[in-house]
């Protein structure tokens, strides 16, 4: 039915153009390059018109249009220089360049219709952090097909690792390894954030393995509930951790949270010689340096994602996702494979959590609640389960909506229609609708991997290998 | 083929560079207008003076959830004070923006929002100082951010934070850990919890209680005031028969109420804020143990949020009761009260007072953040809304009365104003 | 080739030592629990009974919600995440009926009270039943053939939507229901207090339970439900309209949630948009504890969880306290799912696809 609608629309479109004197034959006769240029030009024109009519016009809109044209018109992905197919790197390189240069042009961007002004730098930093988390969850849900509803536990673990090793929480100890920007007289563990990030990742991965060992043999829906349970238990331990089991040991400082947490930095020597920021938290362009570091972290995550996907482990994940029995029969070690998926997801969740805690300069138990797990799950689902680009898009878009987008949209709607809606209040309802609509109509997500699309539409043999059937 | 690409790439790069340059130069601000804080956190700039404002003073309050009544009123009191001073601090024209550190989901303050707001204030050169916050936990996040602000440490004056650790030695590492540059940048116009708990204990003693049960909501403020109450009560000879926390997410506190009843306590002190399910807790306490008297600190200072169940309970609030204010204070109660159509909440006077302190500091600082910050320590206010007082070198006020109110209907009726003895404090 | 089996010693499989570990650990845990309860009982028997009655009443409310979970799981093998939020909507509908439509205030006359209760009960049950059936039709039926992950994720999304409906309708703060149930004690023997409210909860719950049991065990529709739960394809082949049976099951489950919502509103006195989430998880734990898919099991599990919660909060000797209640409930859930997934009353069938 969708094909028929598209066909009839296409016929109407060409009939209309033919009447004006631009029939289909003339279009088909054009060389490919010119057709691409015309299509790109059309998109640019639509964009400029929309901004002029419904947004806030600035001269930079023309520059944005020019950039869009340059990106879309030529067939960059076919670029070959002296036999090196560098074209396939074009898209990622362009995206990285555009995002890395964001601090320089964000203030001069026009305002687009509906979404209003371009997101702030701080929102972009949070986008990179949630992209890392979504990519981490992608290992579990996207690659291995295990539903994890307690991802927030890993986020919490990472944040508290940063809290333990980069703040004055354990003030009776005094250990300082490369920390930057301490207040005079600071005690406690103060490790350099560059050390804390991998530590947090590894510790969270260990916790992930410990959680996974008894639970990963459960079937899908039970696993979801159990992970949800852990996602609730860990924050509650954080909340009650100021007097752990009545012993008086202050592990997490209870509901007050651990604050302040040190920031990253390269120190004075590197700062002076290589012009790297000495202390992120006192840097004049604080959000920019956090953004660039965040981009580097996301790149590392994407690299690991891509390599693992194409490795033996990745193929084992796909196998158990599609048919556990067949996979086990072919010699794939089920428990070990699932545990690896869980541990990898936990690792990146922990690193992201630690980085976020350092950015916010605090770790509070109220930051970790169930809806965040579903929020990250929605990113993976909306973007495309198992597809790296899809997950990145889903993460960026939903984070933007959460932080700024919904309030901007609300303001725009209220201004245009004179209503008094408080759109951010309905945030999780909107995410719920997104999840339900995507699952009903396009479960493979916006940017799918074709394999996953096939699985979801044709169905898989998803009777788990270990299954206690209840009468 | 590749030559065409190279040409296109060069053209594209040139276009981009030109655009960035154009954008950069186009965004140069005129020297006299302010950059408002973004609407995702703050309301619009409020300025009713002549011309355009030179600087912005922002208030950082939780404007969503059950606490709305009080915080929106505080924001309006701040505007009232600014209007009284003719929208000026000395010769500088001041605009005001009301910023929200709460989210709809949590219904209270949110740590990420506090951090974002703090960064926004620090990064925006038009913002000269901040009035806030309402919750001590949020202040602990914002103060270090403003401390590291470049230019100069930025001042924040709070009308409501009562956790002592922000200015005094309390938990390990406090208060130095909130001032990474070593320079203080925070002051407040209310007495801290280490005064409120003892005042409540003194009141309990005067009512003749011998056995008291202490509950807390396990958050920074609630736990702190419950602890200071417990310590002072013990020093005064009252037996504290229990010290437990209540979980805000529980649906029923019947078992806890039974525990309180079984302990033989004559009164129960609820250290916490009412939005942590305080109303249900009080309801269950009343239905299971109707003879046990309720006593609460200023986390329960809104009779509308408490509901009818708190009828007859004793509630302490830092500061003088609005009715007993004199001079400027009485004018405030009358004029502001007329503006909002009801008697002002006790916190509103502090909101206005904090704004007065900030305006005086800004006038002395002449538009420089560091100088403004320095001007507040040792600042003396005479004829202020809450009276005459001085901000000492640690940022605390030397005026520390605590008033005990009784909830009658929808109002708080003052019973007695106490100044706790020094040996009970801390 | 006959193996050389000695005639006098019959072959018996030797039980490995490791298979004793689990039952021993479980017995130890249970023993410690009983010891703890015993000490607390000795310290204050009247108080212990008072707390037990609190637990029983809480358990009754949980039972109604747990039954809804178990019914749906039995027939579709789907954990309906949205069920707890449906219960919350039932509570809100009841609150609206009681306060706005019937205009009840505290201490109304008994006649008005009974009329209002019955009316609100009927409206809440019908409304929640219809909502549940429509959710099934819109969101779960199209995904009948999809991998099991899909309807589960959809249920999570549905849960959020229902919560937001509540926020949009009534706002994010608590709705207080006036104390309309008669207060005062039914009896007060030797310090053991049993109030009227608790009795009314039991009075409403028991008939609903019996009606449900009668429906499932004695009627044709009930037989169709049991058949579909046992084997969907065979039931279809026997002429049962599977779609209609599933819709009917959702209708019944919704009705139970509505009744539970009314009871919650009356007994606990306040509802908020997130009440359903925490209570739903407790009820789901109860359903799993009793044996998911098993109706008496759900009731048993719910009452057990009610007791555990009340003892945890109320007992004086070494009780962890209300801080740890949620963790304890989840820990029970995890332990049951890992070590005894068929629950207390379920039967373990042979493993395998």
Q: What are phi and psi of B186, to 5 degrees?
A: -140, 140
Judge if A137 and A244 occupy the same domain: yes
Residue A101 CA to residue A94 CA, distance in Å, equals 11
Task: Tell if the CB–CB gap between A429 and C167 is shorter than 8 Å.
Answer: yes
Q: Report which of C87, C60, C86 is spatially closest to residue C305, judged by C-alpha positions.
A: C60
CB contacts of C165 in chain A (<8 Å) are: 429
Instruction: Report the chain A residue with the minimal C-alpha distance to residue B25.
Output: A108
CA triple B131-B178-B360, angle to 5 deg: 30
Residue C65 lies in a domain: yes
Predicted confidence (pLDDT) per residue in C32-67, tens digit: 888 888 888 888 888 888 889 989 999 999 999 999
Judge if A163 and A201 occupy the same domain: yes
In this complex, is the C-beta atom of B2 within 8 Å of any C-beta atom belonging to chain A? yes
Among the partner residues A224, A455, A468, nearest to C147 by beta-carbon distance: A455
Strands B402-408 and B314-318: antiparallel
- Against chain A, the chains showing at least 3 CB pairs within 8 Å are B, C
Judge if A74 and A151 occupy the same domain: no
Residue A314 lies in a domain: yes
Instruction: Give residues 30 to 69 of B whose Cβ lies within 8 Å of A.
Output: 38-40
- pLDDT at B41 (0 to 100): 83
CB contacts of B250 in chain C (<8 Å) are: 313, 322, 325
Q: Report which of A143, A133, A115 is spatially closest to residue A395, judged by C-alpha positions.
A: A133
- pLDDT at B245 (0 to 100): 86
Q: What are phi and psi of B271, to 5 degrees?
A: -85, 105
Domain end: A99, A132, A162, which one? A99
CATH number, domain of A249, equals: 1.10.3470
DSSP bridge pairs for B89: B92
Task: Tell if the CB–CB gap between C314 and B247 is shorter than 8 Å.
Answer: no
Among the partner residues A222, A428, A455, nearest to C341 by beta-carbon distance: A222
Per-residue DSSP letters for A50-64? HHHHHSB--THHHHH
**Mean pLDDT in residue range C189-204:** 83
ipTM of the complex: 0.85
Q: Which of A138, A216, A229, A383 to mutate to test the interface with C (most CBs of C within 10 A)?
A: A229
Judge if A310 and A350 occupy the same domain: yes
Residue C337 lies in a domain: no
Judge if A185 and A72 occupy the same domain: no
Residue A464 lies in a domain: no
Task: Tell if the CB–CB gap between B177 and A64 is shorter than 8 Å.
Answer: no
In this complex, is the C-beta atom of C176 within 8 Å of any C-beta atom belonging to chain B? yes
The structure tokens listed for B371 are 């100088």
Residue A358 lies in a domain: yes
- pLDDT at C253 (0 to 100): 94
Residue A12 lies in a domain: no
Q: What's the average pLDDT block by block, 10 residues per block, for chain A (471 residues)?
A: 83 82 78 84 87 82 84 78 77 88 83 83 92 96 91 95 88 81 80 93 95 83 87 87 74 82 83 80 81 95 94 93 89 92 96 94 86 93 91 94 86 83 84 93 84 74 53 33
Domain encompassing residue A57: 26-99
Residue C135 lies in a domain: yes
Residue C44 lies in a domain: no
CB contacts of C164 in chain A (<8 Å) are: 426, 428-430, 432
Judge if A74 and A202 occupy the same domain: no
DSSP bridge pairs for B98: B59
| Distance to chain B for C282, nearest Cα, Å | 12
Share of chain C above pLDDT 70, in %: 95
User: With contact defined as beta carbons under 8 Å apart, do B372 and B365 qualify?
Assistant: yes
Domain encompassing residue C212: 60-273
Q: What are phi and psi of B252, to 5 degrees?
A: -145, 140
Among the partner residues C167, C183, C325, nearest to B247 by beta-carbon distance: C325
CB contacts of C268 in chain B (<8 Å) are: 251-252, 280
Find how far residue A398's CA is from the centre of its chain.
Answer: 9
The structure tokens listed for A231 are 């996602």
**Mean pLDDT in residue range C10-36:** 81
Q: What's the average pLDDT block by block, 10 residues per block, for chain B (426 residues)?
A: 58 60 45 74 89 93 82 93 91 93 77 86 91 89 90 92 89 85 92 89 93 89 89 93 86 86 92 87 90 91 85 88 83 90 85 94 91 92 87 89 90 88 75
User: With contact defined as beta carbons under 8 Å apart, do C58 and C325 qualify?
Assistant: no
Residue A432 Cα distances to A153, A225, C164, angstroms: 21, 18, 9
Residue C298 lies in a domain: no
| Distance to chain A for B172, nearest Cα, Å | 7
Predicted confidence (pLDDT) per residue in C164-184, tens digit: 999 889 887 788 888 878 777
Three-state SS for A443?
Answer: coil
User: With contact defined as beta carbons under 8 Å apart, do B118 and B146 qualify?
Assistant: yes
Predicted confidence (pLDDT) per residue in A86-118, tens digit: 777 888 888 898 899 888 888 778 888 888 888
- Against chain C, the chains showing at least 3 CB pairs within 8 Å are A, B
Residue A248 lies in a domain: yes
- pLDDT at B1 (0 to 100): 44
CA triple A262-A265-A267, angle to 5 deg: 115
Least confident span in A186-200, C97-111, C193-207, C304-318: C97-111
Instruction: Report the chain B residue with the minimal C-alpha distance to residue C273.
Output: B105
Residue A69 lies in a domain: yes
Predicted confidence (pLDDT) per residue in A37-61, tens digit: 888 888 888 888 888 888 788 888 8
Task: Tell if the CB–CB gap between C270 and B255 is shorter than 8 Å.
Answer: no
Contact residues for B39 (Cβ-Cβ < 8 A; gap 6+): A407, A408, A411
Task: Tell if the CB–CB gap between B259 and C314 is shorter than 8 Å.
Answer: yes
Among the partner residues B12, B23, B103, nearest to A108 by beta-carbon distance: B23
| Distance to chain C for A32, nearest Cα, Å | 41
Domain count, chain C: 1
Strands B55-61 and B127-132: parallel
- pLDDT at C334 (0 to 100): 85
DSSP bridge pairs for A175: A189
Task: Tell if the CB–CB gap between A122 and B119 is shorter than 8 Å.
Answer: yes
Judge if A268 and A169 occupy the same domain: yes
Residue C74 lies in a domain: yes
Between chain A and chain C, the number of residue pairs with CB atoms below 8 A apart is: 162
Place of tokens 């007695």: B416
Judge if A355 and A281 occupy the same domain: yes
Residue A158 lies in a domain: yes
Task: Tell if the CB–CB gap between A221 and C160 is shorter than 8 Å.
Answer: no
Instruction: Report the chain C residue with the minimal C-alpha distance to residue A218.
Output: C338
CB contacts of A109 in chain B (<8 Å) are: 23
User: With contact defined as beta carbons under 8 Å apart, do B69 and B304 qualify?
Assistant: yes
Instruction: Report the chain C residue with the minimal C-alpha distance to residue B262.
Output: C47
Instruction: Report the chain B residue with the minimal C-alpha distance to residue C313.
Output: B255
Residue C178 lies in a domain: yes
CB contacts of A362 in chain B (<8 Å) are: 111, 115, 140-141
Per-residue DSSP letters for A299-321? HHHHHHHHHHHTSHHHHHHHHHH
Task: Tell if the CB–CB gap between B145 and A361 is shorter than 8 Å.
Answer: yes
Among the partner residues A236, A443, A465, nearest to C150 by beta-carbon distance: A443
Among the partner residues B19, B104, B176, nearest to A63 by beta-carbon distance: B19
In this complex, is the C-beta atom of C322 within 8 Å of any C-beta atom belonging to chain B? yes
**In A168-240, which ranges are continuous DSSP H helix?**
193-215, 220-240
The model's pTM is: 0.87
| Distance to chain B for C173, nearest Cα, Å | 7
Domain end: A67, A99, A131, which one? A99
- pLDDT at B17 (0 to 100): 63
Residue A373 Cα distances to A133, A142, A226, A361, angstroms: 10, 15, 13, 22
Residue A221 lies in a domain: yes
Residue B179 CA to residue B173 CA, distance in Å, equals 11
**What is the DSSP secondary structure assignment for residue A114, as one 8-state letter?**
T
Find how far residue B363's CA is from the centre of its chain.
Answer: 23
Among the partner residues B66, B254, B280, nearest to C270 by beta-carbon distance: B280
Within C141-249, strands assigned E span 175-176, 185-189, 192-195
Place of tokens 């670029």: A79
CB contacts of C47 in chain B (<8 Å) are: 258, 262
In this complex, is the C-beta atom of B172 within 8 Å of any C-beta atom belonging to chain A? yes
CB contacts of C176 in chain B (<8 Å) are: 279, 307
Residue B186 CA to residue C318 CA, distance in Å, equals 43
Judge if A231 and A279 occupy the same domain: yes
Residue C290 lies in a domain: no
Among the partner residues B104, B218, B258, nearest to C47 by beta-carbon distance: B258
Judge if A419 and A277 occupy the same domain: yes
Judge if A86 and A200 occupy the same domain: no
Judge if A238 and A136 occupy the same domain: yes
B8 CB burial (10 A radius; 0-12, 13-18, 19+): middle
Task: Tell if the CB–CB gap between C54 and B259 is shorter than 8 Å.
Answer: no
- pLDDT at A246 (0 to 100): 67
Residue B268 CA to residue C112 CA, distance in Å, equals 36
Task: Tell if the CB–CB gap between B223 and A254 is shorter than 8 Å.
Answer: yes
CB contacts of B247 in chain C (<8 Å) are: 322-323, 325-326
CB contacts of C87 in chain B (<8 Å) are: none
- pLDDT at C340 (0 to 100): 82
Task: Tell if the CB–CB gap between B279 and C313 is shorter than 8 Å.
Answer: no
Q: What are phi and psi of B381, to 5 degrees?
A: -110, 125
Domain count, chain A: 2
């Amino acid at each position: 039915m969708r094909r028929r609608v598209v066909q009839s629309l296409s016929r109407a479109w060409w009939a209309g153009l033919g009447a004006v004197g631009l029939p289909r034959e003339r279009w088909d006769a054009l060389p490919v390059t010119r057709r691409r240029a015309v299509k790109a030009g059309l998109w640019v024109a639509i964009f400029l018109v929309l901004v002029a009519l419904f947004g806030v016009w600035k001269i930079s809109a023309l520059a944005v249009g020019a950039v869009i044209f340059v990106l879309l018109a030529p067939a960059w992905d076919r670029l070959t220089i002296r036999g090196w197919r560098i074209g396939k790197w074009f898209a990622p390189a362009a995206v990285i360049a555009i995002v890395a240069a964001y601090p320089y042009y964000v203030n001069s961007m026009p305002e687009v219709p509906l979404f209003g002004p371009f997101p702030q730098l701080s929102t972009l930093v949070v986008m990179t952090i949630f992209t890392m988390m979504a990519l981490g969850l992608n290992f579990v849900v996207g690659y291995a097909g295990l539903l994890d509803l307690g991802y927030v536990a890993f986020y919490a673990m990472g944040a508290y690792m940063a809290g333990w090793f980069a703040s004055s929480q354990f003030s009776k100890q005094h250990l300082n390894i490369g920390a930057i920007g301490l207040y005079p007289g600071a005690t406690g563990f103060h490790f350099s954030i560059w050390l804390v990030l991998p530590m947090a990742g590894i510790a969270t991965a260990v916790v992930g393995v410990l959680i996974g060992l008894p639970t990963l043999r459960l079937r899908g829906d039970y696993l979801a509930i159990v992970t949800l349970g852990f996602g609730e238990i860990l924050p509650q331990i954080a909340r009650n951790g100021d007097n752990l089991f009545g012993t008086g040991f202050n592990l997490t400082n209870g509901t007050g949270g651990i604050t302040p947490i040190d920031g990253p930095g390269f120190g004075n020597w590197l700062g002076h010689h290589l012009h790297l920021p000495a202390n992120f938290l006192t840097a004049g362009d604080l959000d920019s340096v956090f953004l660039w570091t965040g981009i580097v972290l996301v790149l590392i995550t994407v690299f690991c994602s891509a390599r693992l996907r194409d490795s033996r482990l990745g193929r084992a994940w796909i196998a158990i996702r599609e048919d556990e029995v067949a996979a086990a029969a072919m010699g794939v070690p089920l428990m070990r494979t699932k545990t690896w998926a869980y541990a990898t997801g936990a690792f990146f969740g922990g690193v992201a959590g630690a980085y976020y805690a350092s950015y916010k300069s605090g770790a509070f138990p109220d930051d970790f609640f169930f809806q965040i797990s579903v929020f990250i799950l929605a990113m993976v689902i909306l973007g495309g389960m198992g597809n790296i680009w899809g997950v990145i898009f889903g993460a960026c878009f939903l984070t933007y909506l959460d932080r700024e987008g919904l309030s901007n949209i609300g303001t725009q709607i209220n201004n245009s229609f004179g209503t008094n809606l408080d759109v951010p209040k309905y945030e999780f309802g909107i995410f719920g609708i997104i999840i339900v609509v995507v699952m009903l109509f396009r479960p493979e997500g916006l940017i799918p991997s074709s394999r996953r699309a096939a699985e979801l539409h044709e169905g898989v043999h998803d009777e788990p290998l270990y299954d206690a059937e209840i009468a | 083929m590749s030559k065409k690409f190279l040409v296109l790439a060069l053209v594209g790069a040139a276009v981009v560079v030109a655009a960035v340059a154009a954008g950069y130069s186009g965004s140069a601000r005129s020297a006299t207008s302010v950059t408002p804080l973004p609407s995702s956190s703050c309301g619009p700039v409020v300025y009713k003076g002549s011309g355009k404002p030179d600087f912005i003073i922002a208030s950082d309050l939780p404007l969503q959830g059950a606490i709305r009544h009080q915080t929106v009123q505080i924001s309006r009191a701040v505007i009232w004070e600014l209007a009284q001073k003719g929208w000026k601090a000395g010769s500088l024209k001041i605009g005001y923006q009301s910023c929200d550190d709460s989210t709809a989901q949590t219904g209270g303050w949110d740590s990420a929002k506090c951090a974002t707001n703090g960064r926004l204030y620090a990064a925006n050169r038009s913002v000269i100082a901040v009035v806030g916050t309402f919750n001590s936990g949020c202040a602990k996040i914002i103060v270090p951010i403003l401390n590291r602000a470049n230019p100069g440490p930025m001042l924040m004056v709070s009308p409501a934070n009562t956790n002592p650790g922000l200015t005094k030695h309390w938990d390990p590492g406090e208060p130095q850990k909130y001032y990474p540059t070593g320079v203080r940048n925070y002051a407040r116009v209310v007495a801290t919890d280490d005064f409120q708990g003892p005042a409540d204990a003194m009141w309990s003693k005067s009512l003749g209680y011998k056995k008291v049960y202490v509950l807390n909501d396990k958050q920074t403020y609630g736990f702190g005031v419950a602890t200071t109450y417990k310590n002072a009560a013990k020093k005064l000879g009252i037996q504290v028969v229990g010290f437990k926390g209540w979980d805000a997410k529980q649906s029923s506190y019947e078992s806890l109420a039974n525990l309180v009843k079984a302990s033989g306590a004559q009164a129960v002190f609820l250290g916490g804020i009412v939005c942590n399910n305080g109303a249900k807790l009080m309801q269950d306490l009343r239905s299971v143990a109707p003879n046990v008297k309720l006593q609460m600190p200023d986390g329960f200072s809104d009779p509308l949020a408490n509901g009818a169940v708190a009828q007859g309970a004793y509630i302490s609030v830092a500061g003088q009761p609005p009715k007993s204010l004199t001079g400027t204070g009485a004018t405030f109660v009358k004029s502001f009260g007329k503006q909002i159509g009801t008697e002002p909440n006790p916190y509103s006077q502090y909101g206005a007072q904090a704004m007065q302190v900030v305006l005086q500091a800004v006038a002395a600082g002449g538009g420089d953040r560091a100088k403004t910050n320095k001007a507040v320590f040792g600042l003396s206010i005479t004829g202020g809304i809450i009276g005459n007082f001085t901000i000492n070198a640690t940022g605390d006020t030397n005026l520390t009365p605590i008033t005990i109110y009784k909830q009658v209907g929808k109002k708080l009726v003052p019973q007695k104003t106490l100044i706790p003895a020094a040996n009970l404090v801390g | 080739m006959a193996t050389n089996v000695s005639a006098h010693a019959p072959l018996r499989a030797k039980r490995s030592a490791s298979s004793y570990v689990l039952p021993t650990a479980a017995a130890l845990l249970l023993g410690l629990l009983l010891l703890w309860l015993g000490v607390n009982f000795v310290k204050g028997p009247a108080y212990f009974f008072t707390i037990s009655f609190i637990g029983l009443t809480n358990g009754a409310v949980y039972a109604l919600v747990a039954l809804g979970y178990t019914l749906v799981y039995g027939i579709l093998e789907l954990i309906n995440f949205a069920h707890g939020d449906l219960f919350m909507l039932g509570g809100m509908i009841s609150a609206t009926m009681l306060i706005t439509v019937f205009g009840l205030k505290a201490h109304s006359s008994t006649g008005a009270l009974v009329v209002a209760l019955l009316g609100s009960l009927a409206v809440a049950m019908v409304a929640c039943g219809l909502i549940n059936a429509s959710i099934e039709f819109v969101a779960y039926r199209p995904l009948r053939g999809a991998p099991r992950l899909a309807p589960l994720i959809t249920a999570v999304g549905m849960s959020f939507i229902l919560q937001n409906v509540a926020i949009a309708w009534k706002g994010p703060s608590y709705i207080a229901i006036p104390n309309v149930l008669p207060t005062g004690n039914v009896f007060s023997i030797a310090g053991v207090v049993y109030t009227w409210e608790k009795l009314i909860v039991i009075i409403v719950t028991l008939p609903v339970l019996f009606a449900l049991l009668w429906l499932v065990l004695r009627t044709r529709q009930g037989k169709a439900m049991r058949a579909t739960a046992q084997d969907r394809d065979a039931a279809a082949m026997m002429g049962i309209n599977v779609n209609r049976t599933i819709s009917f099951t959702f209708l019944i489950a919704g009705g139970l949630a509505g009744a539970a919502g009314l009871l919650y509103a009356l007994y606990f006195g306040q509802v908020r948009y997130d009440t359903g989430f925490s209570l739903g998880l407790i009820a789901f734990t109860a359903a799993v504890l009793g044996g998911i898919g098993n109706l008496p099991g759900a009731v048993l599990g719910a009452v057990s969880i009610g007791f555990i919660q009340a003892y945890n909060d109320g007992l004086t000797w070494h009780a962890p306290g209300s801080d740890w209640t949620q963790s304890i409930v989840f820990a029970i859930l995890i332990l049951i799912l890992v070590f005894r997934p068929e629950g207390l009353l379920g039967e373990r069938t042979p493993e395998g696809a």
